[in-house]
Amino acid sequence: MALIAVGVNHEHASLDFLERATVPEHEWSKVLRSLVSHRNIHEAVFLSTCLRTEVIADIDFFHGAIEDVTNTLANATGIDAVEFADVLSVHFDRGVVAHLMRVAAGLHSLVPGEFEILGQLRRALELADEEHTAGAELRELFHRAVATGRRVRAETAIARGTTSFAFAAVALALEELGDELAGADVTVVGAGQLGTGVVKALVGLKPAVGRVTVLNRSRERAAELVRAVGDARVVLAEFDQLADRVAGSRLAIVAIETPTPVLTRADLAGATGPVLVIDLGIPRAIESTVAELAGVRRLDMETLRSRIDRVLDERHEAIDEARRLVDADVERFVADRRARGAAGIVRELREHFDDVIDAELRRRVGDLAAFDEGQRAIVESIVRSAVAKLAHRPTVNLKETAGTDHGVRLADATRALFGL
């Protein structure tokens, strides 16, 4: 079996395409079940964020698996499979290990070193475990990737400064509004990981904002966020008050997953003053036409992406160091995987030889009847030593080539030759 990663991301696809390709988390289980229903796919983990929709799987045949995964993504998103052809990102075996570890390290993130991806990877694996679609191979890979991500952030400067979409969004707002944020009313829509990060960034902002109103479809989750932040400026509002709250704010940041916009042009037509709205949703959570209203300015992920190029210039050295750490961890994982891959066939081969020797000694026990115990031990020792020498070269070759196409062919040939 082999590893494969197939999907779309912000490095190869437009935000418009990613918007269409995003799969809500409540539908991930259905995607996972569909993936492993294919005979060619043995294990699968599925991840769909605002900037990445991807499948990591343990498979039999490469080309068949690409077709199976693409068709599954097409069914889940309603996008014709043909449209994926020009934007699909594909990695195989060792490339999957390198890819996932780089993703976990934040090297493939819009904001280099952002930490949200670690939680997203953990959640994707947890759901695959719940659906029984992740086995030992993918569990080990994801655990190692997350560990690499933590190591990179601890040992390099990649995580200094703006390290998340949330902080990048607040930094963008500060850049746009400056001192106007001092004492300003701010509305945050969303109480998930991204919304939580936005609220925490806002309460630590200088100049200090005034009131931060949190709204979320689940009132309980919004209330938990307000309690967790523990700042008197952070208050709760009902979700049906969304339009009024945003219209009366100087800044509104929307960070929720929604199939259709939650803020429309009509909602903001009655804004009492100038308002900056930042849409962190993919699909878009705020109608683009709100920007046509007087006093309303709308920024989204496209704006955020263009501003983040500055961060890249500041972190070239840290990014290079992070890549070196990831490359070292990839080598260790591949070496460990090779050892694990060889262990099974080598054990089977040795057990087979031991069984043959034991059976032959039992069969020839009459021929050895004239020997005393010491002489029989010498004969057995000579036989076992000779067989061990014959088995040495095949064993070494199996270990050295494990995890490669050549190794797979050798393992298959060994099983065929010795009936394993």
The backbone torsions φ and ψ at residue 359, rounded to the nearest 5 degrees and listed phi first, read -65, -40
**Alpha-carbon dihedral sign for residues 245, 249, 254, 260:** positive
Element at 49 (helix H, strand E):
strand 41-49
137 CB contacts (<8 Å, ≥6 apart)?
Answer: 1, 3, 43, 58
Q: Which residue from 286, 275, 102, 114 is spatially nearest to 189, judged by alpha carbons?
A: 286
Cα separation, 357 vs 344, in Å, equals 20
Neighbours of 55 (CB within 10 A): 23
CB 228 within 8 A of CB 252: no
* Active site members: 50
Q: Which residue from 44, 110, 120, 116 is spatially nearest to 76, judged by alpha carbons?
A: 44
Tokens for 187, please give them: 């509305």
Cα separation, 204 vs 402, in Å, equals 52
Cross-sheet strand order for the sheet of 296-299: 234-236, 212-215, 186-189, 251-254, 275-279, 296-299
Please state, in angstroms and as integers, the Cα–Cα distance from residue 335 to each residue in 60, 97, 322, 339, following that order.
21, 12, 20, 6
CB 27 within 8 A of CB 257: no
CB 276 within 8 A of CB 252: yes
CB 293 within 8 A of CB 263: no
Please state, in angstroms and as integers, the Cα–Cα distance from residue 85 to each residue in 13, 57, 140, following that order.
11, 19, 30
CA contacts within 13 A on the Cβ side of 369: 3
